[in-house]
Structure 1
Amino acid sequence: MFLKRGYTDFIFDISDVLVSWPSDLTCPIDRKLLRSCLVSRTWYRYESGSISKEECFQLLSKQFSHEPAILDKAWAHVSHALRPNDEMIALIKELKAAAPGKARVYGAFNVSAPDYEYFRSRTDLDWSIFDAVFTSHELGIRLPNPGFFKRLPESTVVPGGTKIVYGNTVYVGHDADDVVTARSFGMHGVLLANFSDARRELRNLVGDPVKRGWEYLRANAGKLACDADRPGVSIMENFGQLLILEATGDRSLVSLTEPTRYWNYFQGKGILTHENFPDDLDTTALGLVTMKPPKEHVHSLMDEMLTYLSEDGLPYTYFDREMPRLDTVVAVNVLHLFYTHGRGHELPGALDFVHAFLKNRAYIDGTRYYFRECVLYFIGRLLETSDDAHLHEVLEDLLRERVKELIGAPGDAIALAFRVVTCASLGVKNEIDMRNLLPLQQEDGGWEIGWIYKYGISGMKIGSRGYTTAMAIKAIEDLDKLRAKDSS
């Protein structure tokens, strides 16, 4: 499902919105027989205005062997029994309130002229939620025929002389045929298979995703912990908190206590691993860049990091010589710290290895600790650190080529956000991944959890709705800036 921003017109199937069939509906004749009447070609002709009510029931009488008066009485009973769909009516009012003066709401109704007149006269039905109603008898054709949608731009019922623009229109209905036909004209189709899913999708279409995302972050400030792909495992750790802080610049959102020297991934004891977990270069590099302690402190730690290199010049993961773990992303993030302070040239082996890693697509299944798109994002983040000519000569064009290869590939919310942000940093407008990212915003304004990294031994995945939301917001804003730059 693709979403975009900027929809102005919403067309709802009246049968699902204003009125609904009660579950305990009774009928003077067999319900299956009445159903057969209502889906017959004769009834369709009646709803399209090509035959009168009298002609319709005369033809139905011959076709289904019942007196016209009995069929008329049965339909009158059913039409009187139809009730307002309060949930959908409330949602429409919410959508209009979310975009006052911008969102126009129309109804689409397969209905004859006499029946439409009757429904309009009912005082329990709130027709004011619609700016106009497109009816089959007025258009001379009924849904799901393509002609119904083809005639919408020429309809005279739209107020103010404005025209329906297919690409700016959303169609909402319960019938898959109707939704498919609407999509064929370039509309965004919402199938009402599940009300909760439809409500979430419509809120995403109307609301400002950035505003809603920030509302989620602020409502959960100080509680934006990481979660694992194991039931009940939640971790308030330093690395994820630092990432949220870096992405948002808002210290009030995170729970952090700055250490005297080294940063540790965990806040306190290790969880589902060694309780005395060693301090690491990865979190320390991120903490030094994000928290910006005194330069003397930073350079002292950088000097120490240079003593934790492999024979190839790659930084080890931990400040523990008994745990000589290597991960390319750790090398990237240590490089980020060094280039931030003009010392990137001191890690030539690390830069050469990152180049080879990128050139040979060694990231394709992620690394020991990180998932694929996170790897590419951190390389893009490294490039944004410095205008060092050699750094950009080695990595920039190659990274642009590699991340473009992944546009449109399957991915969770954080993977999509990482790709959009990385592309934008390289001047690439990634509209495809953005259209896939927008629908993943949940009703509370936050995005679905995305997996950022994993435990090295157990492989347990770690993600954060807080960081995913922060990066989704950044992706939207970065792409908007790129669009504005290109349009100017």
Structure 2
Amino acid sequence: MAIAAYDTIIFDLGDVLFDWDEPKNVASLAALPKGAMREMMNSTTWYDLDRGLLPAEEAYKIMGEELKIEASLVQQAIDAAALSLRVNEQWAELVEKLAAKPGLRVYAMSNISKEHFEYIRTLPFPWEAFTRVFTSAAAGMRKPDLCFYQYVINETRCNPSRTIFLDDRTENIVAARSFGIRGEIVTESERTKEGRIYRFFKNVVLGEPLALAEAFLHSESGKLDSIYSEKGVVFRDNFAQLLIWGLTDMEDIIYLLWPDGTRWKGSLRCSSPDDNASVASSTDSAVVLNDKVRESKKSRPLQDGLWNYFTEKPVGTTETFPADADTTSIAYLTIPQEHLHRVADPKLVLDAMAANMNVDGIMQVYFTEDRPRICAIVSVNMLRFFLKYGGDDLDLDTDLRLAATRNLVVNCLANNAVMNGTRHYTTIESFLYFISLFFAELRAKAERNPTKNANLLQTLERHIYRSLVQSLGKPANPLALAMRTRACQVFGIERDLLRWEMDELLVLQEEDGGWPAGYFCRAGRTGADIGSRGFTTAMAWRILKDYEPEGCVA
């Protein structure tokens, strides 16, 4: 079992573990001047009461004098407020679960007078779950006094970087964070099972995200479909399946429609090419290469290497849909060696790509003349395909066939050109993900042959690092967040810098172990965003899997 990154949890009491009901003795509060309760709670006298420097009776007398009212009215109002406290049962249950987790210690740290703590201890809360309760009255210090935090750190011997502190006041959180403690502000909306912080504890601290993600992927084997996010239309495609396969190596959970028309789920052939007249197979894909290319290549072998995005009748686009360079590139980058006999020789496909250029010499997205499209993100995957199968002599620094495509990628990266996505991709995270994979593949090849691709490798390293660091901490949909995190992981960004990304990603894990679909690409014709629970979950699974040897996943 993975070890959690956090081993110490410190809770505030009021407005975190306890809620306030409507006071039963409303008259006692009404007897105070307007705003008096707030004024008292922010007075030095109240602070001294919290610190145990004044007995309650004397503090009430002083506050009464300051407000020009009887001390008895002050006491009655404060007692009425205290009596309105009730246990938040959902959070009480959470505290018990946290305390029961091996290696995890749970504490309380509260600004509270001796008298009121004696009362609150009578409420039906699982006090035995706390390793220790630190009160301001007993310590002679109160939050946000830094000395109080230092005292608790010393007494618990906790590692601040592995400690979480929860409080409802910003100043108290700031003080905790100044020590390197993870501070979380608990708002009223957070004190439910649906709240983000509750989900954080459930998924990150208590959960087994890797095991749950793997169970989800296997339970949904053959059903990891894609979805048009805005319309909720589910469809089946090769592209997401290939990406899932590449991330997980789980051949048994994906389905494919191979270019020769064979349907395949895992290692089983489900139908023959003759059974696919109604789907987007080689017939429906409308692959049209110019005559010169068709004459120079054997049609059947080449057709067996050109992949279609869809595995069934196209959805959300034209009735027929051409094979595309993106799905084709991802297929060849994913398919293990033992399955390459099912497809055309990669070099035939590379030649077809290199011949399918626009007026600027940039390789195009579709293998058809009636959809002249280029895309910087698709270009990244085509260059990855060339790098893998272009031979040991390939040098992307000098190869003239690929120069315009390479320059498009580098210039878009250097100038943040795809910060709003492209025609075919929704988010910049898609670009960062694929180009980080490209960089890692270049880096691996440089270890064998450092004289090739050296300039491109150096240029990409500088710009990718800048782009990734700039992207950290920014809100994103679940799939984009997963792609960003994986990109950083692949590139080699220090894990400490990814704490926000990892926590946010884990909070999003759902009850069934999977992640929401999110979105990462789009239908070029309509602009509809496309996501996939399977792809998001596979991405999260791979991130967790690669971090597992480090001893923790949170």
Q: Normalised by the size of structure 2, how large is the TM-score?
A: 0.74
**Closer, same or farther in 2 for the Cα pair 1:115/1:352, shift >3 Å?**
same
Contact 1:416 1:436 in 2 (8 A): yes
Hey, what does 1:118 align to over in structure 2?
119
Hey, what does 2:143 align to over in structure 1?
143
Hey, what does 1:436 align to over in structure 2?
501
**Closer, same or farther in 2 for the Cα pair 1:355/1:113, shift >3 Å?**
same
Task: Find the residue that maps to 1:360 and give its secondary structure.
Answer: helix
User: Cα distance, 1:30 vs. partner?
Assistant: 2.4
Hey, what does 1:400 align to over in structure 2?
461
Q: Which amino acid aligns with 2:441?
A: E
Task: Find the residue that maps to 2:134 and give its secondary structure.
Answer: strand
1:166-224 alpha-carbon deviations (Å, 9 max, x no partner)? 22221112222222222222221111112212212333541454345435544544443
Task: Find the residue that maps to 2:183 and give its secondary structure.
Answer: strand
Q: Which amino acid aligns with 1:405?
A: R
Aligned positions of 1:296-311 closer than 5 A: 296-300=341-345, 302-304=347-349, 306-308=351-353, 309-310=355-356
Hey, what does 1:35 align to over in structure 2?
37
**Closer, same or farther in 2 for the Cα pair 1:344/1:137, shift >3 Å?**
same
Hey, what does 2:11 align to over in structure 1?
12
Match among 378, 381, 387 for residue 434 of structure 2: 378
User: Cα distance, 1:354 vs. partner?
Assistant: 4.2
Q: Answer yes or no: is 1:271 the counterpart of 2:321.
A: no
Contact 2:16 2:166 in 1 (8 A): no
CA distance in 2, matches of 1:314, 1:296: 29
**Closer, same or farther in 2 for the Cα pair 1:191/1:136, shift >3 Å?**
same
CA distance in 1, matches of 2:142, 2:388: 64
User: Cα distance, 1:314 vs. partner?
Assistant: 5.1
Match among 183, 186, 192 for residue 189 of structure 1: 183
1:253-305 alpha-carbon deviations (Å, 9 max, x no partner)? 33434452343211212222102112223223323443446544434464255
User: Cα distance, 1:466 vs. partner?
Assistant: 2.9
Task: Find the residue that maps to 1:14 and give its secondary structure.
Answer: coil
CA distance in 2, matches of 1:469, 1:364: 28
CA distance in 2, matches of 1:377, 1:76: 58
Moved more, 167-176 or 444-453: 444-453
Q: Which amino acid aligns with 1:85?
A: N
Q: Which amino acid aligns with 1:459?
A: G
Moved more, 176-185 or 203-212: 203-212
Contact 1:407 1:430 in 2 (8 A): no
CA distance in 2, matches of 1:114, 1:428: 51
Hey, what does 2:86 align to over in structure 1?
83
CA distance in 2, matches of 1:461, 1:350: 33
User: Cα distance, 1:401 vs. partner?
Assistant: 1.2
Q: Answer yes or no: is 1:352 the counterpart of 2:403.
A: yes
**Closer, same or farther in 2 for the Cα pair 1:107/1:220, shift >3 Å?**
farther
Q: Which amino acid aligns with 1:472?
A: A
Hey, what does 1:280 align to over in structure 2?
324
Hey, what does 2:424 align to over in structure 1?
369
Q: Answer yes or no: is 1:333 the counterpart of 2:384.
A: no
**Closer, same or farther in 2 for the Cα pair 1:30/1:90, shift >3 Å?**
same
**Closer, same or farther in 2 for the Cα pair 1:259/1:331, shift >3 Å?**
same
Q: Answer yes or no: is 1:102 the counterpart of 2:103.
A: yes
CA distance in 1, matches of 2:197, 2:331: 41
The number of equivalent residue pairs is 471
Hey, what does 1:49 align to over in structure 2?
52
**Closer, same or farther in 2 for the Cα pair 1:342/1:203, shift >3 Å?**
same
Contact 2:108 2:130 in 1 (8 A): yes
CA distance in 2, matches of 1:443, 1:329: 28
In the alignment, structure 1 segments of 5+ residues that lack a partner are none
Q: Normalised by the size of structure 1, how large is the TM-score?
A: 0.83
Hey, what does 1:234 align to over in structure 2?
234
User: Cα distance, 1:17 vs. partner?
Assistant: 4.0
Q: Answer yes or no: is 1:470 the counterpart of 2:538.
A: yes
User: Cα distance, 1:35 vs. partner?
Assistant: 2.5
**Closer, same or farther in 2 for the Cα pair 1:280/1:302, shift >3 Å?**
farther
User: Cα distance, 1:39 vs. partner?
Assistant: 4.3
Q: Which amino acid aligns with 2:98?
A: L
Aligned-residue RMSD, C-alpha: 3.4
**Closer, same or farther in 2 for the Cα pair 1:310/1:447, shift >3 Å?**
same
Hey, what does 2:297 align to over in structure 1?
none
Moved more, 87-96 or 133-142: 87-96
**Closer, same or farther in 2 for the Cα pair 1:191/1:304, shift >3 Å?**
closer
In the alignment, structure 2 segments of 5+ residues that lack a partner are 261-303
1:409-461 alpha-carbon deviations (Å, 9 max, x no partner)? 24535445445544544544364345334313315154555532222233333
Q: Which amino acid aligns with 2:57?
A: E
Hey, what does 2:247 align to over in structure 1?
247
Q: Answer yes or no: is 1:164 the counterpart of 2:225.
A: no
User: Cα distance, 1:479 vs. partner?
Assistant: 5.8
Task: Find the residue that maps to 1:224 and give its secondary structure.
Answer: coil
Q: Answer yes or no: is 1:323 the counterpart of 2:371.
A: yes
Contact 1:239 1:283 in 2 (8 A): yes
Hey, what does 2:271 align to over in structure 1?
none
**Closer, same or farther in 2 for the Cα pair 1:415/1:352, shift >3 Å?**
farther
Contact 1:416 1:437 in 2 (8 A): no
Moved more, 267-276 or 208-217: 208-217
User: Cα distance, 1:107 vs. partner?
Assistant: 0.7
CA distance in 2, matches of 1:244, 1:272: 22
Task: Find the residue that maps to 2:46 and give its secondary structure.
Answer: helix
1:332-390 alpha-carbon deviations (Å, 9 max, x no partner)? 43444454445476894454334323432356314442343433433443452873636
Task: Find the residue that maps to 2:11 and give its secondary structure.
Answer: strand
Contact 2:259 2:307 in 1 (8 A): yes
1:113-144 alpha-carbon deviations (Å, 9 max, x no partner)? 23323332x26232112111110111112223
Task: Find the residue that maps to 1:256 and give its secondary structure.
Answer: strand
Q: Answer yes or no: is 1:451 the counterpart of 2:519.
A: yes
Moved more, 451-460 or 175-184: 451-460
Hey, what does 2:334 align to over in structure 1?
290
Q: Which amino acid aligns with 1:402?
A: H
CA distance in 2, matches of 1:188, 1:263: 47
Contact 1:317 1:325 in 2 (8 A): yes
**Closer, same or farther in 2 for the Cα pair 1:150/1:25, shift >3 Å?**
farther
CA distance in 1, matches of 2:480, 2:31: 50
CA distance in 1, matches of 2:176, 2:499: 22
Q: Which amino acid aligns with 1:147?
A: C
**Closer, same or farther in 2 for the Cα pair 1:474/1:266, shift >3 Å?**
same
Task: Find the residue that maps to 1:318 and give its secondary structure.
Answer: coil
